[in-house]
Amino acid sequence: MHIIDTHCDALLKLQVAKRNELFSGKPLRFLDGAELDTNFLRLQQGGVRVQFFAVFVHPELPDNEKWQHCLEQVDLFYSEVLGQPLVKHIRNWEDIDTLGLDEIGAVLTLEGADAFGNDLMKLRHLYRLGVLSLGLTWNFANLCADGVGEPRGGGLTMLGKQVVELNNEHHVFTDVSHLSRAAFWEVMELADYPIASHSNARKLCDHPRNLDDEQIEAMFLRNGLIDVVFCPEFINPASQQATIEDLLRHIDHLCGLGGERHIGLGSDFDGVSAHVTGLEDASAYPNLIEALQKRYSEAQVEGFAFRNFLAHRPGIGTTYSKT
């Protein structure tokens, strides 16, 4: 069964390894690097059809270094990820439909607007390079919005609202997974293409990175996607351990709120320090599919795995009318 996974942090791992290579002499290859949960071979083994690759620039980096770090990760996306003959760059959402039988689609995304600061020329350049999903923040505040870890809990700035409008114009997802509550609700008013690329249900795990029932229902009303994340800390309260059964409880809860056609998968592979038992890397996706098939119909499982995403792609699926 095909898998569409809307979040991983392989590019950051590749960048760190590249910067350290001069001192350690140990290169990290996307093809088969054991340190990568989402290396090419593991994506193949897991049946991943489309993998989203996030560019993440840590907010604590000096401002004058952030754009360089961003470009380094984009360069690795082009050289390492797209350097594999069977990996195809998804530059437009329709490209998914033209993937060959053995090809894997690669989507470039941005996790946090820190990379471009207040320079919308840089943002437009990222669109040209292929960014198709953009989260305004990581956990902290920046020039666009407050994240879930910012104590004041502010919403979008004027710049943040401009970025959402630009996302709409370019058929780019606006990702709510790291936003403060206030920023989330403002995105709901503005975004044509909302997505929670890697979030779970706060009702089951009271972590600020998860969405509460009111937010979840709002996402469904706006025709948004919520892609469950495999980080144990976001699955079980105050725990670094979780099973596939624990993860399925979040899918059950989302379905109970009317989200059967709005649920997807956003592993956060390569961005987590602990793994769900049985989901240690992308090659283990068949374990999740097998567990889902014991609980849901084949059509429902295909929906969670890939069809729900295909139906809600920007410019493909139905958008919410604000009129």
CB-side exposure of 319: number of CA atoms within 13 Å? 19
pLDDT at 25: 85
Q: Rounded to whole angstroms, how far apart are CA atoms 259 and 225?
A: 9
* 15-24, 178-187, 195-204, range with the lowest pLDDT: 15-24
- For 84-124, write each residue's pLDDT tens digit: 999 999 999 999 999 999 999 999 999 999 999 999 999 99
> Kind and range of the H or E element at 309?
helix 308-311
Nearest Cα residue to 50 out of 261, 243, 306: 306
pLDDT at 322: 43
Using CA atoms of 92, 97, 101, 105 in order, give the dihedral in degrees to the nearest 10. Answer: 30
Q: Is the pLDDT of residue 316 over 70?
A: no
Using CA atoms of 84, 22, 131, 247 in order, give the dihedral in degrees to the nearest 10. Answer: 80
Q: Rounded to whole angstroms, how far apart are CA atoms 190 and 217?
A: 17
Q: Rounded to whole angstroms, how far apart are CA atoms 140 and 159?
A: 16
Percent of the chain past pLDDT 70, that is, above it, reads 98
Per-residue pLDDT, averaged over 16-37, amounts to 94
- For 250-274, write each residue's pLDDT tens digit: 999 999 999 999 999 999 999 999 9
> Kind and range of the H or E element at 104?
strand 104-111
CB-side exposure of 283: number of CA atoms within 13 Å? 9
pLDDT at 321: 40
> Across the chain, what does the average pLDDT equal?
96
Length of the chain, please? 323
Structure-token match 């996307």, residue found: 30
Q: Rounded to whole angstroms, how far apart are CA atoms 237 and 23?
A: 39
Q: Rounded to whole angstroms, how far apart are CA atoms 275 and 21?
A: 26
Alpha helices, DSSP H only, in 1-117? 10-24, 40-46, 63-76
CB atoms under 10 Å from CB of 93, counted, come to 20
- For 195-254, write each residue's pLDDT tens digit: 999 999 999 999 999 999 999 999 999 999 999 999 999 999 989 999 999 999 999 999
